[in-house]
Amino acid sequence: MKKIAFSIIKFIGFFLGWAILTSILPLSSSENPAIWRLWAEITPLLTIIAFTFFFWLMEKKSVRLYLFDNPVKGVALGIITGIVWLAIPVLVMYIAKIIHFDGVNSIDLFPVWMLAAFLNVIMQELLVRGYLYQMIKQKHNIIAAAIVTTALFTALHGGAFEAGVVPVLNVLTMSMLMTIVLEYSGSIIAPTIMHFLWNGIGALVLGGVSLADDYPNLLITTFTGNEILSGGACKIEGSIIVLFVNVILIVLFVFLKKQGRK
């Protein structure tokens, strides 16, 4: 019971400390929306790096974070899995005439927007699958770590609760997928790349994934048809097609992980 209490205190201290410090840091005064958004993503990233380092030192470096382990495997797995993860539902929706591409938007400083999205993903992965995940896993077990961090990831995407059951299940299974990829690859690199490809291509290119409201999208995209398939207001992330893909990939990586142990 004492060990659980200490873990809860660490969890609250880590998360609330990060949230409070991030909220009091100044925002950019730039009138350029891309530069403003870039700074808005840099500040929470810097604070999560600082808190990760501080708590890691507080643990006397006993919690292994798996930040840079297996870089080649992590990059390759992240790219391949990330492309497959997004390509399958998009292709299915395109063939079923659910998704339509109607033109291209002109976006100033598009690479800056991409960089901002990448920094946001690094921040999320460090927050969810960095120190907190590894601390709970080491102090307790992998199931507890997966449950707690998946709940945190889902809470960070709270808009899904307003959209319905399928979007919530998609967020839950997305987090579970990235967690099992972390375990399989032995590095946070792979889920970070997967997450970035999902957000970067899915949101900034296709306009089918929800990020902060000011993020632009390169393609003018519309979704039509049954909301269970098209995702409704949540677009790709609200589609049951994504749920099936998530579950299939989770089962695949659980199988690969077990085979690796053998």
Q: Are 70 and 185 in contact (CB under 8 A)?
A: yes
User: Tens of pLDDT along the chain (262 residues)?
Assistant: 788 998 999 999 999 999 999 999 888 788 899 999 999 999 999 999 999 999 999 998 899 999 999 999 999 999 999 999 999 999 999 999 999 998 999 999 999 999 999 999 999 999 999 999 999 999 999 999 999 999 999 998 877 777 789 999 999 999 999 999 999 999 999 999 999 999 999 999 999 998 888 999 999 999 998 889 998 888 999 999 999 999 999 999 999 988 876 5
Say how many CA atoms lie within 13 Å of 182 toward its Cβ: 26
Q: What are the start-end ranges of the H helices in the chain?
A: 2-24, 33-58, 71-95, 110-129, 131-139, 142-156, 159-163, 165-185, 189-199, 227-230, 240-261
Distance spanning both ends of the chain, measured CA to CA: 34
Q: Are 79 and 193 in contact (CB under 8 A)?
A: yes
Closest CA to 237 of 205, 210, 197: 210
Three-state SS at 22? helix
